[in-house]
Structures are given as C-alpha cells and as structure tokens.
C-alpha cells in the first residue's frame, strides 16, 4: 500500500499498478488448476486435488509398462486410471489420515501459544464461537505449515507469524476448501521499503505488495504495518488483509477487483458496475473510504475489504449497500470486537489455552 503521505503519487508510480497485476498472469493456484465456480458461490473439485496429481506422477512409469502389455491402448489407459484411484485412496489418503504423534504434539504446543496471541490481538477471532475458533486455529496452523515467513535483516517472532496467518485466514474463513497455492513465501521488512526493496534512503513508501513476474508466489510486507493493522481498529486499514485479498482476486488469472472464486457468474458484472460507481465517488471526494481505493477497481476491492473486516458496523452505517455486497462475497457478517476487551483469567482459574492447568501454572506463570 502507498502510505498516506505519498497518496498523491500518479497511478503509474504505484507498485500496485497494472504492470504488477497483468491479465496474462497464470498464477499457480488450486482454483485455476482444479476448482470451478458453481451456483450459490460454493466451490467444488471437478478434476483432481493436489495429492491426486502427485500420485499420478508417481504412477507414470506404470503407464509405459501397461502400453507394452496391452495391444489396445484404451484398455491400458482404463486400467492405469483404475490403479491410480486404488493407489490414491488406499495409500495416500490413509497416510494423510494417520497423523504423526510427534507432529501432533508439536502442533498442540504451538497452538497453545498461538491461541493466546489470537485472543489478545485478533478481534475477528474473538468474535467466533468455540467451534469456529477451533477451525480458525487449524487453518492458522495449516497456513504456517505451507507458507514460509522470513524476516529481512531481522528474526521473525511467533506473533509476526500468527498475525500473517490470521490475515490470510480471515477473508477466506467461510471457504475452508480454498488455499493460497499462489503463495510460497512472505518476506517481511521492518518498515516501509522502496521499489528496490531497500529499507533505508528516500522513496520508501511501500507497506505491502504482491504481483506477477518476480513477485509470483511472493508477498512483501512491512512488519510495522502488519502490527498496526491489528492494534489500531479505528482506522479502517489492515495492510496484510489488503494484500491477501489481492491474492484472492488474482487467483482467477485477472486482478481486476472481481474475485470470481467468491462470486458467481450472475453477480460478477453487477459487482463490477457497482465498484466503478464507488471509485468515481472516492475520486470526487464524496466518500469516507480510503482515497487509495479510488485509484482502480482492483484497489477498491482490497480497500473495501479492509474496511469490512476492521469496521463492519461503521461500513454498514455509512455504506449499507456495499456492506451487504461484501457480506455476500465473503459469506460472513463480521462482528466488531475491540481487542482490548480480552480479559485474562484469574490466577487460580483455568488457563484460556485449554490445557486444564490453572492460569498461574500455565500462561500466567
């Protein structure tokens, strides 16, 4: 995101301009490879999932043997496909369902620490019921197991990881089958950086960035902006959520403010027409939405998502139509809960992490 003191930059100066979001992008995302969009916004696999494709690659040598044994190629292909199905469901699925006890214990210990951080810093998590919190926690762990988070010239802390993962989970919390397969690594900088990813000198105005080319599979993010997004819940801004919404938008091959993974074909065009009207209002100064959202339809969607998850009640009050559209897109109506409302248990009360120990003998020790 371009910082407020650089908001007068021309569109061509912004690192979020069209050269970083080309319609020719071919992101490595599950939805572009194996997901399709069906009625009512539900997502379903219509081909093979990733593990199935991996098993396919493992069995390719068998195809060569079958071709020599069967004179009729059609029989060979049918037999080969049958073997793939059997191998996948009998071996790979069984392997996945049998959790490594050591890994499971490690995850449980990590989650105790993460749960405390989520309760303290992430209002979206606070607003969930017990079952939803468990789901949120598992998705945080899944994200951290698949995406590498590194610090540039500093050591990443657990809180940094938890906030990045929470930023990824929040926009897609209603879509449990979708994952950011177009993201491999999140590179964190202490503060703002420039176009050459330098953290000192002039022209350091970038807080977060995703894109194509050298940025494919990568996200660059300001650590300071990450923490500000969760500590200041009155400014309608959250840089990390903004960038993850860009990745969602990018997943259909075109970063244009119309995330087809979240919209069905009947609502995509009306949504595009609506956001064009909203962009015009921002440019005319008739909106309280961040002026950066007026630079393009792409940026409007990400900026509106920040507003939606940071200040949902205010968005509903000032922009009721936009609020309802965002509810339909993200399949959820978030609740505004101040992170400061989190209260620690008494020393002799059960610890919030669920360990069964008293707070004084656990996280309060």
Above 70 in pLDDT, residue 19?
no
- Would the pTM of this model clear 0.85, i.e. be above it? no
Identify the band that residue 42 occupies on the pLDDT scale cut at 50, 70 and 90: very low
Question: What is the rounded CA–CA span in Å between residue 231 and residue 6?
Answer: 22
Condensed to tens digits (0 to 9), the pLDDT of residues 58-71 reads: 666 666 666 666 66
CA dihedral 145, 151, 157, 159 (to 10 degrees): -70
**Measured distance CA(264)–CA(305) in Å, rounded:** 18
Model confidence at 290: pLDDT above 70:
yes
| Lowest-confidence segment of 21-35, 109-123, 261-275 by average pLDDT | 21-35
Q: Say if residues 280 and 59 touch (Cβ distance below 8 Å).
A: no
Are the beta carbons of 156 and 185 closer than 8 angstroms? no
Q: Over 90: is that where the pLDDT of 335 sits?
A: no
CA–CA dist 352, 112 (Å, integer):
9
183-189 and 148-151 strand pairing: parallel
Q: What is the pLDDT of residues 295-332, one digit of tens each?
A: 999 999 999 999 999 999 999 999 999 999 999 999 88
CA 335 to chain centre: 19
Q: Which residue blocks in the chain are alpha helix, DSSP H? A: 30-34, 50-58, 60-69, 73-87, 93-97, 101-121, 123-126, 130-146, 158-169, 223-231, 239-250, 265-283, 297-310, 312-318, 320-330
Q: What percent of the chain has pLDDT above 70?
A: 65
Residue 165 has pLDDT above 80, yes or no: yes
SS3 122: coil
Q: Mind giving me the DSSP string for 214-245? A: GGTEEEEEEHHHHHHHHH--SS---HHHHHHH
- What's the alpha-carbon Rg for the chain, to the nearest Å? 23
SS3 label, residue 326:
helix
Task: Decide: helix, strand or coil at residue 209.
Answer: strand
pLDDT at site 33: 35
Going by their DSSP bridges, the two strands 43-45 and 35-37 should be labelled as antiparallel
């Amino acid at each position: 995101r371009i910082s407020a003191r650089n908001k007068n930059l021309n569109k061509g100066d912004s690192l979020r301009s069209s050269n970083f979001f080309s319609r020719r992008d071919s992101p490595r995302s599950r939805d572009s490879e194996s997901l399709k969009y069906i009625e009512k916004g539900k997502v379903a696999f219509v081909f093979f999932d990733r593990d199935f494709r991996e098993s396919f690659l493992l069995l390719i040598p068998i195809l060569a043997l079958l071709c020599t044994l069967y004179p009729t190629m059609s029989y060979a292909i049918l037999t080969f496909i049958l073997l793939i199905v059997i191998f996948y469901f009998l071996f790979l699925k069984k392997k996945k369902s049998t959790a490594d006890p050591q890994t499971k214990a490690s995850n449980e210990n990590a989650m105790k620490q993460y749960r405390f951080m989520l309760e303290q810093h992430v209002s979206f998590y606070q607003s969930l019921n017990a079952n939803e919190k468990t789901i949120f926690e598992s998705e945080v762990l899944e994200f951290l197991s698949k995406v590498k988070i590194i610090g540039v010239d500093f050591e990443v802390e657990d809180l940094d990881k938890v906030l990045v993962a929470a930023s990824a989970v929040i926009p897609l919390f209603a879509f449990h089958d979708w994952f950011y397969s177009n993201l491999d690594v999140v590179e964190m900088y202490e503060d703002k950086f420039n176009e050459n990813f330098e953290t000192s000198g002039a022209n350091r105005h970038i807080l977060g960035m995703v894109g194509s080319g050298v940025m494919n599979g990568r996200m660059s993010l300001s650590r300071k902006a990450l923490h500000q997004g969760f500590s200041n819940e009155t400014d309608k801004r959250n840089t990390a959520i903004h960038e993850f919404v860009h990745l969602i938008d990018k997943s259909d091959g075109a970063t244009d403010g119309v995330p087809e993974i979240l919209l069905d074909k009947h609502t995509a065009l009306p949504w595009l027409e609506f956001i064009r009207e909203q962009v015009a209002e921002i440019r005319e100064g008739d909106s309280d939405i961040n002026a950066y959202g007026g630079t393009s339809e792409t940026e409007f969607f990400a900026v509106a998502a920040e507003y939606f998850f940071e200040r949902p009640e205010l968005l509903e009050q000032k922009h009721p139509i936009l609020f309802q559209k965002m509810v339909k897109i993200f399949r959820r109506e978030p609740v505004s809960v101040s992170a400061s409302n989190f209260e620690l248990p008494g020393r002799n009360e059960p610890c919030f992490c669920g360990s069964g120990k008293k707070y004084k003998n656990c996280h309060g020790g």
